[in-house]
Amino acid sequence: MPSSCSKTHISLLVIFLFSLHLCAHAGDLDQNIEINWGNDQAQMLNSGQLLTLSLDRASGSGFQSKNEYLFGKFHMQLKLVPGNSAGTVTTYYLRSQGSTSWEEIDFEFLGNLSGDPYILHTNIYTQGNGNREQQFYLWFDPTADFHTYSILWNPQFIIFYVDDIPIREYKNSVSIDIPFPTKEPMRIHGSLWDGEGWATRGGSVKTNWTEAPFTASYRNFSANACVWSSGASPCAVNSSDATWMTQVLDPKEVEKLKWVVRNHMIYDYCADSKRFPDGFPPECAVTVIKE
166-201 per-position pLDDT tens digit:
999 999 998 889 999 988 899 999 999 999 988 888
Q: Residue 242: pLDDT band by 50, 70, 90 thresholds?
A: confident
Instruction: Tell me the per-residue pLDDT of 91-146, one tens digit each, with 9 for 90 and over.
Output: 999 999 866 678 999 999 999 998 899 999 999 999 888 899 999 999 999 999 99
Cβ neighbours of residue 48 closer than 8 Å, sequence gap 6 or more:
28, 29, 30, 31
Q: Does the structure show a pLDDT above 80 at 4?
A: no
The 8-class DSSP code of residue 114 comes to T
Q: Does the structure show a pLDDT above 50 at 31?
A: yes
What total number of domains does the chain contain? Answer: 1
Looking at every residue in the chain, the average pLDDT score rounds to 87
- Residue 145 to residue 168: CA distance in whole angstroms: 22
- Residue 217 to residue 184: CA distance in whole angstroms: 28
The pLDDT, as a whole number, for residue 229 is: 81
The pLDDT, as a whole number, for residue 204 is: 86
Mean pLDDT of 60-64: 97
Say how many residues make up the chain: 291
How many other CB atoms sit within 10 Å of the CB of residue 163? Answer: 13
Gyration radius from the chain CA atoms: 19
The pLDDT, as a whole number, for residue 15 is: 42
Question: 255-276 burial by CB neighbour count: b if 16+ within 10 A, else e?
Answer: ebbeebbeebbeebbbeeeeee
Tell me the three state secondary structure of residue 13: helix
Instruction: Tell me the per-residue pLDDT of 9-20, one tens digit each, with 9 for 90 and over.
Output: 434 444 444 445
Residues noted as catalytic? 104, 108
The pLDDT, as a whole number, for residue 236 is: 52
Mean pLDDT of 48-74: 95
CATH of the domain at 231: 2.60.120.200
The residues pairing with 216 across neighbouring beta strands, listed in sequence order, are: 53
**In this predicted model, which residue has the larger pLDDT, 59 or 175?**
59
Q: Does the structure show a pLDDT above 90 at 147?
A: yes
Tell me which residue range forms the domain holding 11.
3-287
The pLDDT, as a whole number, for residue 98 is: 67
Mean pLDDT of 36-60: 95
The pLDDT, as a whole number, for residue 16 is: 46
The pLDDT, as a whole number, for residue 101 is: 79
Mean pLDDT of 17-45: 79
How many other CB atoms sit within 10 Å of the CB of residue 89? Answer: 23
Q: pTM for the whole thing?
A: 0.89
Instruction: Tell me the per-residue pLDDT of 246-286, one tens digit each, with 9 for 90 and over.
Output: 999 999 999 999 999 999 999 999 999 999 999 999 999 98
